[in-house]
Amino acid sequence: MSVEQVVFLVLAVAAVGSAVGVVISRNIFYSALLLVACLFIVAGFYVLLEAPFLAAVQVLIYVGAIAVLIIFAIMLTERMMSKTVRGWNEQWWIALIVTVCLVAVMLYVVVTANWQVSDAATPSDAIVALGQTLLSTYVLPFEVASVILLMALIGAIIIAREEEPVGVVGEQKEEER
């Protein structure tokens, strides 16, 4: 076995192990931390594939943003000071159905796909090429993605805003005086 294969096996075992840990852990904070570990190891795969940009973005977005958001959500739950923060697993069978479907689709793709193997070396200026492709060939999906994010942002603000009847605000303030 080459060095790459050994590293891949170690990473794969660690990634799958931590992913299983996320699901079976009783403590929801442990689950969150194991998820961080799992996502971090996935970044390791990208480093192994000589895609440093993807690795950095993986850490930045999944560990730095999404995992922190999950921790934020846990932080705001009740009883987080108690010894074990229990997870709620009542809907596990729905999750199971979804997971089985997802695995089936992925297996189908893996088996039927026509994998193209290239011997060419990884380009050193991959970031420049990636940036130019994103803003020329794939500019439409790129922009659509940002519009979707903007919609999510506005939606979150609308939902989180305190319900105030419009138009009465000014009068209320006068009464306060």
Site residues (CB under 8 A) for another protein? 29-30, 33, 36, 52-53, 56-57, 59-60, 63-65, 67-68, 71-72, 75, 80-81, 83, 124-128, 174, 177
Based on CB atoms, which residue is closest to another protein, 91 or 177?
Answer: 177
Report the C-alpha gap between 4 and 49 in whole angstroms.
9
Q: Which of 88, 72, 78, 71 is nearest to 29 (CA)?
A: 71
44 within 8 A of 56, measured Cβ to Cβ: no
Based on CB atoms, which residue is closest to another protein, 15 or 28?
Answer: 28
Question: What Å distances lie between residue 124 and 51, 68, 136, 137, 148, CA to CA?
Answer: 10, 32, 20, 21, 32
In this structure, the chain runs to a length of 177
* Smallest distance, another protein to C-beta of residue 85, A: 9
* Smallest distance, another protein to C-beta of residue 56, A: 4
Based on CB atoms, which residue is closest to another protein, 11 or 126?
Answer: 126
* Smallest distance, another protein to C-beta of residue 6, A: 14
